[in-house]
A and B are shown apart, each in its own frame.
Chain A
Amino acid sequence: ETGVTQTPRHLVMGMTNKKSLKCEQHLGHNAMYWYKQSAKKPLELMFVYNFKEQTENNSVPSRFSPECPNSSHLFLHLHTLQPEDSALYLCASSQGDRTSTDTQYFGPGTRLTVL
Chain B
Amino acid sequence: QKEVEQDPGPLSVPEGAIVSLNCTYSNSAFQYFMWYRQYSRKGPELLMYTYSSGNKEDGRFTAQVDKSSKYISLFIRDSQPSDSATYLCAMKSSSNYKLTFGKGTLLTVNP
Contacts and interface: CB of A to CB of B under 8 A. Distances in A.
A103 interface: yes
Interface string A2-23: 0010100000000000000000
Interface in B30-68: 31-32, 34, 36, 41-46, 49, 51
A106 B88 CA distance: 13
Interface of A: 4, 6, 31, 40-43, 45, 48, 50, 56, 90, 92, 94, 96, 98-109, 111
A108 B97 contact: no
A90 B44 contact: yes
B96 interface: yes
Interface in B59-88: 88
A98 B46 contact: no
B26 to A, nearest CB: 14
B46 A42 contact: no
21 contacts: A6-B43, A40-B8, A40-B103, A41-B103, A42-B103, A43-B44, A43-B101, A90-B44, A94-B97, A96-B97, A98-B95, A98-B96, A98-B97, A101-B49, A104-B97, A105-B46, A106-B36, A106-B43, A106-B44, A108-B41, A111-B41
Contacts, number: 58
B97 A102 contact: yes
Interface string B82-111: 000000101000111111111110000000
A63 B24 CA distance: 34
A101 B46 CA distance: 12
B13 interface: no
Contact of B43 (A101, A103, A107): A107
Nearest to A4: B43
B4 interface: yes
A109 B43 contact: yes
A56 B31 CA distance: 21
A56 B4 contact: no
